Amino acid sequence: MDERKPLLLKKSYKTIRGKTQLGYEALHIERPVYQIDEFNKETLYEKPFIPLKTKIKNSANSVNYKQCIFNTLPILKWLPEYNFKSSILGDIIAGITVAIMHIPQGMAYGLLGGVPPVVGIYMAFFPVLVYTLFGTSRHVSMGTFAIVCLMTGKVVNQYTTIEIMQNGTLNHLTSDPNTPQYTNVQIACIVTFTVALIQIPMYILRLGVVSTLLSETLVDGFTTAAAFHVVASQLKDFFGIPITKRRGNFSFPLTIFDAAKALPQANLNACIVSFITSTCLIINNELIKPWLSKKTRFPFPIELVAVVFGTLASLCLNFQDNYNISIVGHIPTGLPNPSLPAFDMIPNVFMDSFVITIVSYTVTMSMALTFSRKLMYEVDSNQELLALGLSNMLGSFFSCLPITASLSRSMIQQAVGGVTQLASVVSCCILLVILLWIGPFFEVLPRCVLTAIIIVSLKGILFKITLIKKYWKLSKWDAFVWIVTFGITLIFQISIGLAAGVVVSLLSIFVQGYKPYTCLLGLIPNTDLYLDIKRYKAAQEIDGIKIFHYSGGLNFASRTSFKNLINKKVGFDPQEILTKKSRDIIDGQEISLITKWVMLDFSCLSYIDPSGVELLRQLQSDYKKLNITLYLVNLSGPVFEVIQKCDKTLELDSKFIIFPTIHDAVLYTQNYLKNE
């Protein structure tokens, strides 16, 4: 039996400048010089091959139906293992805390989505119960998220023809009888349904990896610009100014222009309420909250306090009648009746819904992965698509906007002791009480209070604009992606900005891959180490040999770039010399005295296609006419197999000369010179 033992290095000690240091004896290896065919025969090389029939059989045999059920319903996996003694108290406290946060945030972001504020509380109840069953993240708080609500609100404003007013009455925005009539809630519901319609097929096709298309740079630039859109959309209620909602391209600059123009008509009373609310929130966030975090892990519910005090002040002083301050208006009690979305609107909202899907999923996955890495448990990216899809599917029948994980609520839920999604169940129970009985209390809440909560909560995202300095120092390409994404999102529409960001990100990857790292290698004397001669000054080029190192892929797209790079590094273009019929002279010297061998180090070649092999054939032919020999060295298994397959298919007599290492190729040439 062949027993393979690990290679042991013999330790040695040496004295350098009076200090004894641990070292190792010099490395001595004795073996013959190999070409690739001999090397493969000696090492028993064999391409792995599994018949398709065997793959299907193994796949069928590996299916564990019990495990599939557990993976589809993760609650069946973690709930039986739930430790009530150590975890239930933390989940109850976290649920109560998050429910308190849901009230002001839900109402504020519902308003941001162009629907009645109570919809934000619906979003924290119906979809969250479904996510508890199917979600794999134990700590994310699902519900409203400012950016997604704003994006949905853009679609709602575009297609709504009947607006539900504060007192529950309907306001017809168009008098054209031929125009289909849809309320703002109906448009929001069909967006939510379409998002679910995209997420569930993505789960079936295992497309959870799609979130990797959105890099951190792109997401930062996009969310920062979207936050400015959110602020612009809230200026009307914040200052109490009479401006109309802008739609389509250039909505942000036009809204800022309208607001600046209408500022002399601002409602002073609304400005005072907004200023007082904002000041209190900022003082709490900047001073009280950091101090309180050192004393206790329970945050002070400043947003809820602002909502309660704003409601009481409006109730006592009658803000709407006496001071002309807009209020939230009618909040229905009880749960909404289920209704079918307007399916005929799916083609109209599909593209916007697709963008919302990608943003919602990316934000949720980034939050879920943050907690899973911190607390050491697994999150399934594809299962999250199913959980979000089913949650939104149910929510679309109960007047909900698309749900997303919230950064602030999720952080609080974990910080105050939340262990599992049972915290969300506790939160839903509390919100159910509010929906059934307490909701009408908030009908007189000034809208400017909710607006102040929204704007202050976005402070962290707005200040991400300073990250451009960091990206510029780290990578000019990252900075370029950030600037393009931010600029187009801000000036044009959110969906266009995201699409532009993805295109620029992919372009940056292509351009950086199109010009990969290349260099000429030289030998470190008395070793078998070959290093970049520009970076390692001790490395010396070998007379008559050019060793070209290439990192990247060699295919139809990069073959021209590869050819230009090798000609530049080696110092001449063989085709140009052959065309000019000056085969023997370059700068007054014979080619044979300059270069006899060109070695291509493909140790970092990630991929090659038949077009790339054809280019190598062309190079080999051109060099041969100039009495130069081309060697290929350090080929990976897949690259070697592609070249071998091309050789068999074309049935060529002249094959490439391939060596397993650079040193084999160099020693082979030196032996060739001795034998001449």
CATH (domain of 622): 3.30.750.24
The pLDDT-based confidence of 630 (bands split at 50, 70, 90) is very high
How far apart are alpha carbons 660 and 118 in whole angstroms?
69
State the Cα angle at 112 between 108 and 117, rounded to 5°: 50
Asked whether the predicted pLDDT for residue 268 surpasses 90, the reply is yes
Residue 47 lies in a domain: no
Per-residue pLDDT, averaged over 370-384, amounts to: 89
Asked whether the predicted pLDDT for residue 457 surpasses 90, the reply is no
Asked whether the predicted pLDDT for residue 337 surpasses 60, the reply is yes
Residues 437 and 565 in one domain: no
The confidence score (pLDDT) of residue 589 equals 47
Residues 491 and 527 in one domain: no
Residues 555 and 433 in one domain: no
Per-residue pLDDT, averaged over 72-97, amounts to: 90
The pLDDT-based confidence of 4 (bands split at 50, 70, 90) is very low
Pick 66 or 303 by higher pLDDT.
303
Q: Are 148 and 359 in contact (CB under 8 A)?
A: yes
Q: Kindly state the tokens that stand for 261.
A: 């123009």
Residue 14 lies in a domain: no
Asked whether the predicted pLDDT for residue 645 surpasses 90, the reply is no
> Which of 508, 530, 546 is the C-terminal boundary of a domain?
508
Which of 52-66, 239-253, 319-333, 535-549 shows the lowest per-residue confidence on average (mean pLDDT)? 52-66
Residue 174 lies in a domain: yes
Residue 277 lies in a domain: yes
> pTM for the whole thing?
0.78
The pLDDT-based confidence of 383 (bands split at 50, 70, 90) is very high
Asked whether the predicted pLDDT for residue 10 surpasses 60, the reply is no
How far apart are alpha carbons 395 and 386 in whole angstroms?
14
The confidence score (pLDDT) of residue 360 equals 93
The pLDDT-based confidence of 164 (bands split at 50, 70, 90) is low
Residue 52 lies in a domain: no
The confidence score (pLDDT) of residue 675 equals 66
Q: In what order do the strands lie in the sheet with 657-659?
A: 530-532, 518-523, 544-554, 595-608, 629-633, 657-659
- Beta strand segments in 166-223, E: 170-172
The pLDDT-based confidence of 508 (bands split at 50, 70, 90) is confident
Residues 538 and 628 in one domain: yes
Residues 347 and 413 in one domain: yes
Query: For residue 425, what are the domain limits?
Result: 87-508
Determine which helix (DSSP H) or strand (DSSP E) holds 554, and give its type and residue range: strand 544-554
The confidence score (pLDDT) of residue 449 equals 93
> Which of 508, 526, 544 is the C-terminal boundary of a domain?
508
Residue 31 lies in a domain: no
Longest dimension (CA), the chain: 107
Q: Kindly state the tokens that stand for 239.
A: 């200052």
The confidence score (pLDDT) of residue 314 equals 94
Average pLDDT across the chain, whole number:
86
Residues 486 and 568 in one domain: no
The confidence score (pLDDT) of residue 654 equals 66
Residues 483 and 541 in one domain: no
The confidence score (pLDDT) of residue 5 equals 44
Asked whether the predicted pLDDT for residue 651 surpasses 80, the reply is no
Residues 497 and 570 in one domain: no
The confidence score (pLDDT) of residue 269 equals 95
Q: What are phi and psi for residue 219, nearest 5 degrees?
A: -65, -40
Total count of domains within the chain: 2
- Over residues 167-198, the pLDDT tens digits come to 556 666 666 666 778 899 999 999 999 999 99
Pick 302 or 403 by higher pLDDT.
403
Residue 64 lies in a domain: no
Residue 317 backbone zone (phi > 0: left; psi -120 to 50: alpha; other: beta): alpha
Residues 134 and 281 in one domain: yes
Residues 451 and 528 in one domain: no
The confidence score (pLDDT) of residue 2 equals 44
Asked whether the predicted pLDDT for residue 22 surpasses 70, the reply is no
> Which of 508, 528, 557 is the C-terminal boundary of a domain?
508
Residues 617 and 595 in one domain: yes
Residue 39 lies in a domain: no
Residues 503 and 529 in one domain: no
